[in-house]
Every structure is written in C-alpha cells, then in structure tokens.
Structure 1
Amino acid sequence: MPTAPETYFLPPTPHVPNSRLPALVYRSVLTAPLSATSTIASVEPNHWLKGGVFKAVRTHHFHSVTHECYAVFRGESSLLLGRGPGDDVEMERGERSGEGAEGWMTRRVVVSLREGDVIVLPAGLSHCSLDPADGYEYVGFYPEGSLKWDNNWCKADVTETAEKAKVAKSVAIPEFDPIYGREGPLVEIWRKADDLAG
C-alpha cells in the first residue's frame, strides 16, 4: 500500500513562479542497499527517466518546462524550496522599511532529505541545497516524454517570471507516480490541487 507523501504548497514570488501543485516528499521509500544503479532500477519502470546523477546544487533555480524528482541514494541535505535570492533581499528591505510582509515574504520551506528519501518538484518550483553532508548524491528523474530541463536562476523581473509561470502551468500532470506507478498518490494529489486552483 503506498505511503502518503508529505505535501508542501509554495505561493509565487516576484522572482519565482512556484506552482499550484505541491512538492511531494516520500520518506524511506528506496530499498537498501542504495546506489545510483538500484535507484534507477526502482524508478524508471514507473515512467520517470534518469536525467543524471547529481551532487548538491547550492544555487536557487527552477525548471519551467518539466517536473523533477530527486531520489537520494547517499548522504543528506536540506533543500530550501520556493524562494530566490532576490526574494530574500526584498523581504529584508520590506521588513526594515516597515512595509509589512506579503504572503510570499513569509513563506519558505526547508525540507531535510536523507538517503532513501524522494522529493518531487512541480515545474516552476524553486529549490537549492543548503547543507549537504556525508557525500550527498541523488538521481534526477523527469517524466517520460517531457522536455529537457531548462535552468532559471530566480533573478528575472516580474514580467519574465509571469511568462515562465505560464509555461510551468502548461506542463502536463504525469500519469505515473515515480515510486508507486499508475496507482501512486502523485496523480490524485496533483489533479485535485489543479482542480482546486481552477
């Protein structure tokens, strides 16, 4: 029986589209002994294909043309979700000038991942590694048939960010969960979130 993933909704910021779909975190779902090879063998049958084996990426970024899955097979790291470096600067300025905090200014999520964990990031949602340890490494997977990922560094102006948000919103919800396949929770959770968002 599939274990329900943790869900994290991140609102848009001036520099990051984020998504109406939540980030999903699955805890301890990869089978030991863990390696890149065993991780690929677990996930690819579910129609999410390997894009590469990666170490920590400490730069804020998002992908507007595809969803992404990190399957951690070594070490641990915290991921900062939903913010860009420009958002941090604007938040500090707003607080110092007494302008109050908009919703996006108060929202950021830090998720701790360790070997065996999997996170799925919807298109448009920013992420970066904060404190990798113990040789942190993961396989990045992308839905079968999706476009090659693009890298956006969360520094664009509001107009360009809005255009990227339109692109991200147009990315189809996958028909398969990367861990549990067609009957997995991702499909239902994301379709329900999409319906609620209108």
Structure 2
Amino acid sequence: MAARSDATPWQEQSPAILTFDDDGRTPNNRLPVLLYRPAWSPDAGEALALQLEALFNANDWPAQWRGGVFAFHHYHSLSHEVLGIFQGSAMLMLGGESGERVTVSAGEVVVLPAGVGHCRLEASDDFTLTAGYPPGQQDWDLCRSGEADITAARQRIDRVGRPLSDPLMGPDDGLVHYWH
C-alpha cells in the first residue's frame, strides 16, 4: 500500500481491540486495549521515536520515558498509558497472568487503560519503546499483579478520567470513539 502524504502510518486502519476481565489478581478495565499496527512500516530507530513522541505530545499524551516493559505482571491504577515501540520486537502478556500473548514490533502502538496488566515475556535485544500518559496522569503508580491491594486499586481505577484525545489520532478518533 502506498503511503498517503497527509497521513501517518496509523491513520489508515482501525486499531485491534482487546478486552480483559478482572481475574482477581489483575483488575484490568472495561475499556479496551487499543493496538495500532501501522498500515505501512515506518523506519525504526531514533527517527520513529521522535515521530511517535511528537504525535503523543501534540495529542496531549506527553512522552515521559524510553525503555522497555518489566518482565513481571503489573498495571497502573492511577493512569492510562501509551507504549510506542520504535525498535525491535517483544512478546507481551496483556491482561494479567491468564491474559493474551501479543507480539509487538517497531511501529506499533499499544494504548493501555488504567488497570490492564502487562508483562514482557521475551524481547529482542534492541526492543525499545517510548511511553506517555494523558494530562493529570503523569504520576503513574506501579502495582504488581497479585501483590497490590486489588480492592483499593479497583477504586483508584474507577476514578481515572477518560482522556480527551487519542495519543495518535487526536481528539476526533481512536480511543475517543472506542472508550465512549
């Protein structure tokens, strides 16, 4: 497919929608995970990192850090999170220990609602991503599945507001539509 000059690789198709139930160790969320797989392959590396960070910042999900995904099951009860993979690939487990294995690679973006478990099962040596959070949610927490007080976590998750903008698509598409 030829790239449109006025579109980003993510704007030409709908995201994959993944939903996960509370399993008693990981609360997850009634809001779905959005997995954006680009319509064409952008170049990996620093240029892609800068492109993703520019989109996140422009859509009010400021990029906060670069790195990987922890190799233990965890979730955030105070914030939604966007992960933009800009190099390498990984096998993630989304939704907690009984969730779903998902392979992600450079150019793909995962939008995680608060409470959704995630864990790196394996990764290439160069696997790297950039992560951001919506306004008022930059002070994210780290809850280990099965160790955190899940009742308190569920209460915090219920209070997390819905963003006004999708980190890739802006205020008129993406999670604004799927998280109604």
TM range (shorter): 0.7 to 0.9
SS in 2 for 1:9: strand
Residues 61/79 of structure 1: CA separation in 2 closer, same or farther (3 Å cut): same
CA drift at 1:119: 0.2
* Aligned partner of 1:176 among 152, 165, 168: 165
Q: Distance in 2 between matches of 1:80 and 1:141?
A: 20
Q: Distance in 1 between matches of 2:53 and 2:174?
A: 20
CA drift at 1:28: 2.0
Which residue in the other structure is 1:32 paired with? 43
Q: Distance in 1 between matches of 2:24 and 2:44?
A: 42
Q: Amino acid of the residue matched to residue 175 of structure 2?
A: L
* Aligned partner of 2:32 among 22, 35, 59: 22
Q: Distance in 2 between matches of 1:43 and 1:167?
A: 24
Which residue in the other structure is 2:132 paired with? 141
CA drift at 1:32: 3.0
* Aligned partner of 1:116 among 107, 125, 135: 107
Structure 2 gap segments, 5+ residues each = 1-10
SS in 2 for 1:143: coil
Q: Amino acid of the residue matched to residue 46 of structure 1?
A: N
Q: Distance in 2 between matches of 1:2 and 1:20?
A: 26
**Percent identity (aligned):** 29
TM-score by length of 1: 0.78
CA drift at 1:188: 1.2
SS in 2 for 1:113: strand
More strand per residue: 1 or 2? 2
1:8-65 residue CA offsets vs partner (Å, 9 max, x unmatched): 1100011111000011100026843542323212321011111200124211110000
Is 1:5 the counterpart of 2:40? The answer is no
CA drift at 1:153: 0.6
CA drift at 1:147: 4.2
CA drift at 1:156: 3.0
Tell me, yes or no, if the aligned pair for 2:44 and 2:106 is still in contact at 8 Å: no
* Aligned partner of 1:163 among 152, 156, 159: 152
More helix per residue: 1 or 2? 1
Tell me, yes or no, if the aligned pair for 2:44 and 2:87 is still in contact at 8 Å: no
Which residue in the other structure is 2:3 paired with? none
- Relative contact order, CA 8 A, sep 6+: which one is greater? 1
SS in 2 for 1:78: strand
Tell me, yes or no, if the aligned pair for 1:66 and 1:149 is still in contact at 8 Å: yes
Q: Distance in 2 between matches of 1:68 and 1:58?
A: 17
Which residue in the other structure is 2:120 paired with? 129
CA RMSD of superposed structures (Å)? 1.8
TM-score by length of 2: 0.86
Q: Distance in 2 between matches of 1:79 and 1:108?
A: 10
Q: Amino acid of the residue matched to residue 32 of structure 2?
A: P
Structure 1 gap segments, 5+ residues each = 85-106, 192-198
Q: Distance in 1 between matches of 2:178 and 2:79?
A: 18
CA drift at 1:69: 0.5
SS in 2 for 1:178: coil
